[in-house]
Structure 1
Amino acid sequence: MKIIAGLGNPGSEYEKTKHNVGFMFVDALADKLGVTDWKDKFDAKIGEARIGTEKVLLVKPQTYMNESGQAVGPLMNFYKLAIEDLIVVHDDMDIPAGTIRIRKKGSAGGHNGIKSVLAHVGDEHFARVRIGIGRPLPGWTVVNHVLAPFATEDVPKIEEAIKYLLPAVECIVTDDVDMAMNQYNPKKSKKKKAKAEEMQEGEAVNA
């Protein structure tokens, strides 16, 4: 069994905010998998589904972002799951809005939700699915930024990122995180690489 935990803040006032892209993703995956029955357990909203032959729990912690681990840790313990059975989807300020990155381990990188999960599961070897929300505007604090809705021009980028990640997360479940990273992480453009090589060749000829 796998746990797919999307991080966010409960309550309608936070629904459309940047910090809630983890919830947005889990809701989109629930729609795709036909999950309509959510149970309130372990300080979380939990839906059950199957991806391939694998049973999955879709999890939205209701503890507020900074205490996400209070829901995820006890769930892992209750079901006696290995750390590799955990997939966490969350926002990331270090990449542009709508950009995605899949990682198989790592530190919290300043993200309080991940910091809390790490503190409660005691191991960094779980898959992270990061959805970029970009940096704060000049004069904005980090809190202002993450608790504000997306700019109008960024909304379609986020919707596209979530749609793109649905099969990526299914790939983590049915295959593994390495396969998903290989297939879905953005690759450097071949055109850019070819252009750079052309320029280098041109410089060599002119030298």
Structure 2
Amino acid sequence: MRKVLFLIIINICFIACSNDETVEETESNTSITINEEITWSKGIGNTPEEFVTNWNKLINSISNDEDTISFFSINPDGVNWVSDAQQTLVYQFGKSTAKENIFVLNLNVDNNSVRSIEFFAPTSTSEITSQQTKLFFLMIISISDDSLNKDEREIVLTEIGLYEEVSVPSEYGGVTIKNQIEYEIQPLVVNNQLIGINFYSRIPFG
């Protein structure tokens, strides 16, 4: 029998990330009205400081739950350069809570401009982790291109293979370009076991 790999649980909540939509939470079946007074813009192509500011504005615009905001926000004090070359900044989400999986965000910087985003999400059978992964992906798409609406963001996720069922872990993923931003999913496989997903957003040839 063919072993089908389900990378993201089917009943993941479909979370919107724009100023004219609502966020649906599967656990409570309630909707959170987005605060239209909070404005944000894309972070890719801007300075690291602007990226962090807009990322935090984005999460504040889609949720008023303190725990959600705390988990998904970036603490500027926790953003560090990988090396003295100052080409890549790294930040870890969930690091302070041992029971949660750690998600890793890398910002590749050139001439004080964020040119690409690398995001690592661990695979998990936990529905909560799957929901967190989906929201992170949608936030990265939004922070990369603030002109996309809910349906267009879902198209990006479909085109890069997020919802595909595959029998061989290494075959998972894909790449697409939308509005001059390239998005890509790559599987992280060890001993034929999928242990994580790398999600990329970049300015091509930038």
**TM-score, normalized by length of structure 1?**
0.31
Quick check: which has more Rg, 1 or 2? 1
**TM-score, normalized by length of structure 2?**
0.31
Query: Which protein has greater RCO, CA pairs closer than 8 Å, 6+ apart?
Result: 1
More strand, by proportion: 2
